[in-house]
């Protein structure tokens, strides 16, 4: 009899972390009269690069470049993000002092540039640009050439001696301003491709057509002047408002437009996607105009301090002579390469800046070197050359792809530019993922149109021939061809075909359907829930995008996006060949403190896991031997066990199963020699294993010696209303102790034989679905008995083992103190724990979770990203209580969250011993664990 534990341990009260909670409702209040405007230019700056919260990324870096680095930055000023917050909290008004501050700052610019805003003779023109704390391409508003009016134009023409240039600048101002400021202020929300901008664009186009020119610069000044007048008339007609002819009105209109754009639809949507808080606000940068379009000694360009496409450590970029920044982006003229390392197929014949303007290039090269040294990262810079003078317009950390990120991180450590902790933080898990998956060539994909869209269940790309069942997929693979398996939805009987296929496409099921789970586990390309498919299994046809595909037709899947394409698109090789991958991961290993194990269920899995750097198996699921290859025989016996009519029949089946089980376990342990292997006792979903095919049912009934009626009755008896919370996990071990005994014996015999073969083996037996410590006590007796029987029979010494438990039932987490008293380790099964804690059935969330995400009720799918607040609180409680009962308690996580970077960081913070995830996620987990440790180290250094 199991000894009783305390009857009524009173519940325990955790202390609330009120600060964090209450922060949620905190309103930003501006308490003291703040400084709202920061000037920069002429080697000085009121701000600096660390003030991104106040000045935005762009403003802070402009100040840093101007003030700290003394680089040639056109003088200007930044209006802070606090003004944006004020603006939105105070019915779109500004702090009282702002007007005077802006005017003062404008005076400073005038003093430096010796020009005057609104002056008839020597007018100052400025640009107005947004600049938030984080880069937000969705909301960026820019207005150039502010200050051009009927009055100032003559002065500008006189000053530059170039009427064409001035009217070109004026028509640009009208186009931008009428669109960004006036149309928005009028509350008009044109559809895509409509609106004032479009109207003016087509007027410009008509003019060029009439004149027979393709290049804007070839329009004569007089024609541009006329066009500007027509533009203004059109603006007035369409927007019912005069285009402002007052420089100050233009300036404030532009500033207001930037603040207003912070809560534009696109901006809000972007922030929701990128998880950027809505209360950050944007800054506004007002800066002296410099012109790259003042003739052949002027130019404008964009450059990176290293190649963002492959990471080569050469200065890289492109430029256009006689152009403004927007011309580079517009793509009408082909930009020229900065230098020989920047040339590509399209631009190789064009002259480099290095050759055309060697002096300026040399200056720019020196600046980029200085910037990289200063910022310790690869930078993306924008510059303009006005009459041979170089001006820096912007610098920021440059975006890069995975290959480049890894290359740069390694190079910069070698160059002693950054520490290894910084280096591991320079590669995002998504970037590392790029190196690990086959993918469609982005160029080929850009030209193709998807024929169907589903849910992106397994990332990467796959191209192959359509098949409609598992057998055909296997045949095709055997014939050396790629198969794309299309099913209504998959079930365990499809496993072999799924493994054989290059990609999987299902009509039904969600992100956690069988197909999705299996595919993610294997890192296989998979699209699920593609409901627009019209599937006809009998005829072996599928209709997508209006076309009917039959067996053997080619299609391509992008599992990262969930898109399906017609035909075989060009593929990129998987990154396994990337020479830097192993180097970078071993850099990660040198930083991280948490172990990374793999979930592996077969010898092959285990070998694969070792290849990916797994330090042991965190989850070996015995029942997966009934899915894999050569599973027919053991599956048949398992079914006999499940459908046994009494204990004797069950014991007979259990004994019959024994050799198969032992073989799998031993082979896997051998493949992981020297590393820990956690073998979880069976948690088979009983009713799922009952065969559905009549022929299989009859075979089984025959083997059991029962009629089909009895068979059906027994099968019906296994039906459960809520199988997820039914007779599974250790509940089977409690009701059928012989099953636990047989599994334990298989584990210990395997280990004993390996020890005799001089292979290290110390199995860790894991009990699933525990809800009470008494379950562990009862099971340990059986496990201990099996151990003693094996040791006695095999005559081995020093056979070590441990017994631990999954923590996947809320009650086990709540009562962790008691549970830890009987467990050598905890392994959090966050899939089930999330199910029970939320009361969400993973199989059934499809009908409501999308709405929860859409409405923002939940921030993320808790099965994708660990719910750190709710489920996480239970985990923290369990770890703390567990370690209090047993300070050396080993704590790990298995299940899909084990490979999710945010969750890995959470595990690191909670002091986990290890995370375990599917083999192909191991590199990601190694990186995530390293990043979590690196953050600790850097935070300590900062103190």
Q: Which of residues 860-889 bind a copy of itself (CB under 8 A)?
A: 867-877, 880-881, 884
Q: How far is the CB of 423 from a copy of itself (least distance, A)?
A: 26
Angle between helices 81-89 and 247-261 (to 10 degrees): 80
Site for a copy of itself in 792-851 (CB under 8 A): 808-811, 814-815, 817-818, 832, 835-841, 843-844, 847-848, 851
Q: Give the separation between CA 574 and CA 850, rounded to whole angstroms.
A: 32
Q: How far is the CB of 272 from a copy of itself (least distance, A)?
A: 9
DSSP 796: -
- Which residues on adjacent β-strands are paired with residue 767? 805
Q: Which residue has the tokens 């607040």?
A: 869
Query: Of 236 and 877, which CB lies nearer to a copy of itself in the complex structure?
Result: 877
Residue-by-residue DSSP string for 494-542: GHHHHHH-SEEEESS--TTSHHHHHHHHHT-EEEE--TT-EEETTTTEE
Pairing of β 461-467 and β 802-807: unpaired
The set of residues, in sequence order, having a beta carbon less than 8 Å from that of 646 and lying 6+ positions away, is none
Out of 8, 27, 191, 416, the residue judged to bind a copy of itself by CB under 8 A: 8
244 near 92, Cβ under 8 Å? Answer: no
Q: How far is the CB of 839 from a copy of itself (least distance, A)?
A: 4
Q: What angle do CA 339, 344, 348 make, to 5 degrees?
A: 65
Q: Is 855 one of the binding residues for a copy of itself (CB under 8 A)? A: yes
Give the SS3 label for residue 193.
coil
Residue-by-residue DSSP string for 614-664: --SEEEEEGGGGGTSTT-HHHHHHHHHHHT-SSHHHHHHHHHHHHHHHHHH
Q: Give the separation between CA 482 and CA 462, rounded to whole angstroms.
A: 8
CA dihedral angle for residue 718, residue 721, residue 726, residue 732, rounded to 10 degrees: 0
Q: How far is the CB of 782 from a copy of itself (least distance, A)?
A: 12
Residue 901: CB atoms within 10 A of its CB come to 21
664 near 691, Cβ under 8 Å? Answer: no
815 near 879, Cβ under 8 Å? Answer: no
Query: Of 638 and 755, which CB lies nearer to a copy of itself in the complex structure?
Result: 638
Q: How far is the CB of 732 from a copy of itself (least distance, A)?
A: 8
Q: How far is the CB of 266 from a copy of itself (least distance, A)?
A: 15
Query: Of 456 and 510, which CB lies nearer to a copy of itself in the complex structure?
Result: 510
285 near 58, Cβ under 8 Å? Answer: yes
Q: How far is the CB of 772 from a copy of itself (least distance, A)?
A: 6
Q: How far is the CB of 188 from a copy of itself (least distance, A)?
A: 23
Query: Of 232 and 650, which CB lies nearer to a copy of itself in the complex structure?
Result: 650
- Binding letters toward a copy of itself, positions 232-271, x by CB under 8 A: ------------------------------------x---
219 near 166, Cβ under 8 Å? Answer: no
* Closest CA relative to residue 821, chosen from 764, 767, 881, 741: 881
Q: Is 492 one of the binding residues for a copy of itself (CB under 8 A)? A: no
* Burial grade of 205 (CB within 10 A; 0-12, 13-18, 19 or more): exposed
- Which residues on adjacent β-strands are paired with residue 483? 465
CA dihedral angle for residue 373, residue 377, residue 382, residue 384, rounded to 10 degrees: 10
Please pick, among 84, 395, 894, 917, the residue that the annotation labels catalytic. Answer: 894
Q: Is 900 one of the binding residues for a copy of itself (CB under 8 A)? A: no
Query: Of 194 and 859, which CB lies nearer to a copy of itself in the complex structure?
Result: 859
Site for a copy of itself in 17-76 (CB under 8 A): 17, 20-21, 23-24
Has 894 been annotated as catalytic? Answer: yes
Query: Of 14 and 546, which CB lies nearer to a copy of itself in the complex structure?
Result: 14
Give the SS3 label for residue 252.
helix
- Binding letters toward a copy of itself, positions 9-28, x by CB under 8 A: xxxxxxxxx--xx-xx----
Site for a copy of itself in 276-315 (CB under 8 A): 277-278
Site for a copy of itself in 375-434 (CB under 8 A): none
Query: Of 230 and 489, which CB lies nearer to a copy of itself in the complex structure?
Result: 489
Phi-psi region of 436 (alpha: psi -120 to 50; beta: other; left: phi over 0): alpha
Query: Of 671 and 813, which CB lies nearer to a copy of itself in the complex structure?
Result: 813
Please pick, among 514, 624, 897, 908, the residue that the annotation labels catalytic. Answer: 514
Out of 104, 857, 911, 938, the residue judged to bind a copy of itself by CB under 8 A: 857
Residue-by-residue DSSP string for 668-721: HHHHTTTS-EEEEPP---HHHHS--SHHHHHHHHHHHT--HHHHHHHHHHT--S
DSSP 139: T
Query: Of 658 and 852, which CB lies nearer to a copy of itself in the complex structure?
Result: 852
Site for a copy of itself in 721-780 (CB under 8 A): 721-727, 731-732, 734-735, 769, 771-772, 774-775, 778
Query: Of 140 and 276, which CB lies nearer to a copy of itself in the complex structure?
Result: 276
Element (H, E) at 748: helix 737-756
Q: How far is the CB of 172 from a copy of itself (least distance, A)?
A: 36
Q: How far is the CB of 647 from a copy of itself (least distance, A)?
A: 13
Site for a copy of itself in 182-201 (CB under 8 A): none
Alpha helices (runs of H) in 771-829, residue ranges in sequence order: 773-794, 810-814, 816-820
Query: Of 154 and 821, which CB lies nearer to a copy of itself in the complex structure?
Result: 821
Residue-by-residue DSSP string for 352-366: PHHHHSHHHHHHHHH
Give the SS3 label for residue 119.
coil
Q: How far is the CB of 243 from a copy of itself (least distance, A)?
A: 35
Q: Give the separation between CA 304 and CA 738, rounded to whole angstroms.
A: 66
The set of residues, in sequence order, having a beta carbon less than 8 Å from that of 468 and lying 6+ positions away, is 485, 486, 487, 535, 537, 540, 542, 551
User: How many residues bind a copy of itself, per CB under 8 A?
Assistant: 84
Query: Of 609 and 769, which CB lies nearer to a copy of itself in the complex structure?
Result: 769
Q: How far is the CB of 21 from a copy of itself (least distance, A)?
A: 6
Q: How far is the CB of 429 from a copy of itself (least distance, A)?
A: 18
Q: Give the separation between CA 203 and CA 233, rounded to whole angstroms.
A: 12
Query: Of 670 and 886, which CB lies nearer to a copy of itself in the complex structure?
Result: 886
The catalytic residues are 514, 894
């Amino acid at each position: 009899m199991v000894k009783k534990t305390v009857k009524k341990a009173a519940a325990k009260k955790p202390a609330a972390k009120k600060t964090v909670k209450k922060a949620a409702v905190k309103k930003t209040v501006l308490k003291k009269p703040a400084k709202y405007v920061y000037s920069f230019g002429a080697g000085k700056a009121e701000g600096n690069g660390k003030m991104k919260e106040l000045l935005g990324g762009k403003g802070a870096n402009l100040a840093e470049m101007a003030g700290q680095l003394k680089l040639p930055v056109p003088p200007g000023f930044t209006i802070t993000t606090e003004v944006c917050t004020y603006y939105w909290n105070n019915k779109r008004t500004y702090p009282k002092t702002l007007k005077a501050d802006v005017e003062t700052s404008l005076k400073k610019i005038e003093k430096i540039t010796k020009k005057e805003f609104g002056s008839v003779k020597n007018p100052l023109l400025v640009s107005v640009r947004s600049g938030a704390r984080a880069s937000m391409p969705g909301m960026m508003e820019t207005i150039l050439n502010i200050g051009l009016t009927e009055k100032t134009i003559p002065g500008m023409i006189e000053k530059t001696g170039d009427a064409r240039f001035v009217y070109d600048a004026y028509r640009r101002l009208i186009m931008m301003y009428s669109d960004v400021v006036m149309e928005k202020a009028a509350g008009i929300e044109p559809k895509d491709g409509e609106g004032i901008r479009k109207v003016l664009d087509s007027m410009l186009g008509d003019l060029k057509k009439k004149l027979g020119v393709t290049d804007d610069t070839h329009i004569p000044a007089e024609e541009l002047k006329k066009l500007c007048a027509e533009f203004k008339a059109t603006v007035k007609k369409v927007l019912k408002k005069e285009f402002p002819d007052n420089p100050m009105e233009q300036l404030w209109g532009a500033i207001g437009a930037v603040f207003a754009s912070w809560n534009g639809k696109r901006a809000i949507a972007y922030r929701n996607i990128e998880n950027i808080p809505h209360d950050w606000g944007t800054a506004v940068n007002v800066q002296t105009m410099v012109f790259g379009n003042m003739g052949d000694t002027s130019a404008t360009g964009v450059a990176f301090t290293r190649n963002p496409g492959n990471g080569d450590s050469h200065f890289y970029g492109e430029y256009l002579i006689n152009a403004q920044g927007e011309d580079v982006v517009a793509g009408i003229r082909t930009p020229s390469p900065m230098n020989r390392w920047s040339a590509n197929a399209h631009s190789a014949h064009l002259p480099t800046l290095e050759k055309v303007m060697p002096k300026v290039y040399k200056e720019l090269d020196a600046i980029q070197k200085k910037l990289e040294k200063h910022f310790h990262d690869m930078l993306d810079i924008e510059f303009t050359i006005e009459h041979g003078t170089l001006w820096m317009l912007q610098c920021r950390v440059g975006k890069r792809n995975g290959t480049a990120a890894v290359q740069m991180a390694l190079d910069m450590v070698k160059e002693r530019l950054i520490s290894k902790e910084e280096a591991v933080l320079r590669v995002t898990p998504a970037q590392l993922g790029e190196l690990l998956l086959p993918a469609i060539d982005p160029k080929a994909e850009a030209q193709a149109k998807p024929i169907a869209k589903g849910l992106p269940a397994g990332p990467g790309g796959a191209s192959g021939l359509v098949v409609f069942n598992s057998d055909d997929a296997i045949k095709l693979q055997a014939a050396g061809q790629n198969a794309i398996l299309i099913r209504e939805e998959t079930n365990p009987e499809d496993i072999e075909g799924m493994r054989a296929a290059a990609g999987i496409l299902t009509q039904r099921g969600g992100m956690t359907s069988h197909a999705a789970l299996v595919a993610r586990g294997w890192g296989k390309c998979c699209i699920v829930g593609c409901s627009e498919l019209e599937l006809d299994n009998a005829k072996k046809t599928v209709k997508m995008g209006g076309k009917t595909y039959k067996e053997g037709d080619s299609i391509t899947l992008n599992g990262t996006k969930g898109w399906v394409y017609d035909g075989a698109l060009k593929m990129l090789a998987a990154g396994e060949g990337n020479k830097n991958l192993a180097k970078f991961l071993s850099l990660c290993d040198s930083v991280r403190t948490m172990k990374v194990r793999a979930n592996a269920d077969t010898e092959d899995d285990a070998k694969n896991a070792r290849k990916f750097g797994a330090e042991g198996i965190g989850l070996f699921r015995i029942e997966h031997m009934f899915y894999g290859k050569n599973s027919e025989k053991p599956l048949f016996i398992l079914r006999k066990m499940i459908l046994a009519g009494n204990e004797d029949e069950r014991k007979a089946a259990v004994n019959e199963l024994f050799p198969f089980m032992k073989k799998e376990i031993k082979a896997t342990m051998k493949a992981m020699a020297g590393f820990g292997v956690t073998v979880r006792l069976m948690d088979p979903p009983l009713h799922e294993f009952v065969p559905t095919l009549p022929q299989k049912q009859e075979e089984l009934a025959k083997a059991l010696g029962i009629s089909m009626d009895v068979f059906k009755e027994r099968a019906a008896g296994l039906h459960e209303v809520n199988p997820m919370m039914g007779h599974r996990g250790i509940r089977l071990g409690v009701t059928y102790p012989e099953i636990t005994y047989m599994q334990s014996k298989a584990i210990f015999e395997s280990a004993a034989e390996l020890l005799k073969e001089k292979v290290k083996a110390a199995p860790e037996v894991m009990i699933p679905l525990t809800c009470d410590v008494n379950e562990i006590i009862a099971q340990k007796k059986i496990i201990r008995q099996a151990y003693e029987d094996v040791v006695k029979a095999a005559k081995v010494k020093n056979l070590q083992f441990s017994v631990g438990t999954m923590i996947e039932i809320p009650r086990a987490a709540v009562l962790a103190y008691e549970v830890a008293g009987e467990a050598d380790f905890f392994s959090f099964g966050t899939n089930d724990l999330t199910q029970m804690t939320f009361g969400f059935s993973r199989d059934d969330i499809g009908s409501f979770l999308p709405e929860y995400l859409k409405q923002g009720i939940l921030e993320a799918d808790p099965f994708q990203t660990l719910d750190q607040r709710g489920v996480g609180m239970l985990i923290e409680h369990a770890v703390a209580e567990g370690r209090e009962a047993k300070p050396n308690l080993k704590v790990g996580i298995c299940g899909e969250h084990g490979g999710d970077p945010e969750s890995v960081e959470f595990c690191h913070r909670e002091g986990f011993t290890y995370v375990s995830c599917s083999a192909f996620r191991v590199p990601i987990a190694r990186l995530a664990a390293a990043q979590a440790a690196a953050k600790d180290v850097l935070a300590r250094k900062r103190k």
